[in-house]
């Protein structure tokens, strides 16, 4: 089911965050990372785990359309047990800690 959110609302694994043509959203993840969803965009939260140990942190986002900016302040090991990835239909971007934009 779709819900219109005008303020703070929890986002869980499996949720899709969509913005209309003249709207946007910011998802504040536990640990300090931020996901900026630009206008006319959609992203799905596929996986998220934020343990205290950097060796086990996980974030997997699937960009369905549009553009997202990722502000990654946590450190990731970029291995099978620790990663921050954004996927699109044709690419996968993985980072350890940075600020980057993905559009599809």
Q: Is the pLDDT of residue 97 over 90?
A: no
The more confident residue out of 95 and 84 is 84
Mean pLDDT of 1-6: 76
Q: Which tens digit of pLDDT belongs to each residue from 41-87? A: 999 999 999 878 888 899 999 999 999 999 999 888 777 888 999 99
81 backbone dihedrals φ, ψ, rounded to 5°: -105, -5
Please enumerate in sequence order all residues whose Cβ is within 8 A of that of 63, keeping only pairs 6 or more positions apart, or say none.
Answer: 41, 42, 43, 86, 87, 88, 102, 103, 104
Q: Confidence band (pLDDT; 50, 70, 90) for 95? A: confident
In angstroms, the CA 96 to CA 73 distance is: 9
Q: Is the pLDDT of residue 9 over 80?
A: yes
Q: Which tens digit of pLDDT belongs to each residue from 14-39? A: 999 999 999 999 999 999 999 999 99
Q: What is the percent of the chain with per-residue pLDDT over 90, rounded to a whole number?
A: 55
Radius of gyration of the chain (CA): 13
SS3 letters for 5-48? CCCCCCCCCCCEEECCCCCCEEEECCCCCEEEECCCCEEEEEEE
Task: State the first-to-last Cα distance of the chain, in angstroms, to the nearest integer.
Answer: 24
């Amino acid at each position: 089911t779709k819900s219109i959110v005008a303020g703070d609302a929890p986002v869980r694994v499996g949720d899709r965050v969509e913005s209309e043509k003249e709207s946007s959203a910011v998802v504040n993840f536990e640990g300090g990372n931020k996901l900026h969803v630009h206008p006319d965009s959609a992203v799905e939260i596929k996986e998220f785990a934020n343990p205290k140990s950097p060796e086990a942190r996980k974030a997997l986002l699937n960009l369905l359309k549009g553009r997202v900016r990722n502000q990654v302040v946590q450190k990731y090991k970029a291995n099978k047990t620790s990663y921050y990835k954004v996927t699109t239909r044709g690419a996968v971007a993985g980072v350890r800690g940075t600020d980057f934009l993905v559009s599809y």
